[in-house]
């Protein structure tokens, strides 16, 4: 496996543990539909919202913040994948889109951005 894939998988593990420690119930990790995927799907601690979480892992922030990698194309892809998830899993909860950034180094830093973006309108 390529080194960047291993780093991404490690970051997703860190993010899932972070969410669980905050009281989230992680339902799925790396959920796929076609060529799209959702990194983490979880229920918020109060049980009232489905959080679709995009995880961005970087070794450092020298060039850009990890959350900057979530552009309109990624948001569109996440919107379509989340729509498929809701339909297939018959989810009846409100949905929000979060981003978790994981920056490695001597002191791993994790930032959770709740309600990071709104879904884009899409035509299938």
Tokens encoding 88? 């297939």
Q: Is the dihedral of CA 65, 14, 25, 111 positive or negative?
A: negative
Residue 1 confidence (pLDDT) above 60: no
pLDDT, tens digit, for every residue of 50-95?
A: 999 999 998 876 666 777 789 999 999 999 999 999 999 999 999 9
Give the pLDDT band of residue 105 (cuts 50, 70, 90).
confident
40 Ramachandran zone, left/alpha/beta (phi>0; psi -120 to 50): beta
Helices (H), 22-110: 72-89
* CA distance readout (Å), 36 to 63, 85, 106: 26, 11, 33
pLDDT given at position 58: 87
CA dist 86 and 29 (Å) reads 15
pLDDT given at position 38: 98
pLDDT, tens digit, for every residue of 38-50?
A: 999 999 999 999 9
* Residues near 84 by beta carbon (within 8 Å), at least 6 away in sequence: 33, 36
């Amino acid at each position: 496996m390529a080194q960047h894939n291993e780093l991404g998988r490690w970051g997703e593990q860190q993010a899932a543990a972070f969410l669980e420690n905050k009281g989230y119930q992680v339902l799925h990790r790396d959920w796929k539909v076609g060529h799209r995927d959702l990194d983490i799907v979880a229920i918020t601690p109060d049980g009232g919202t489905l959080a679709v979480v995009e995880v961005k892992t970087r070794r450092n922030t020298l060039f850009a913040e990890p959350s900057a990698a979530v552009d309109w194309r990624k948001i569109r892809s996440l919107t379509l994948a989340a729509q498929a998830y809701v339909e297939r899993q018959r989810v009846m909860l409100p949905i929000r889109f979060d981003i978790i950034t994981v920056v490695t180094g001597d002191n791993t830093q994790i930032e959770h951005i709740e309600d990071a973006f709104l879904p884009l309108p899409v035509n299938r």
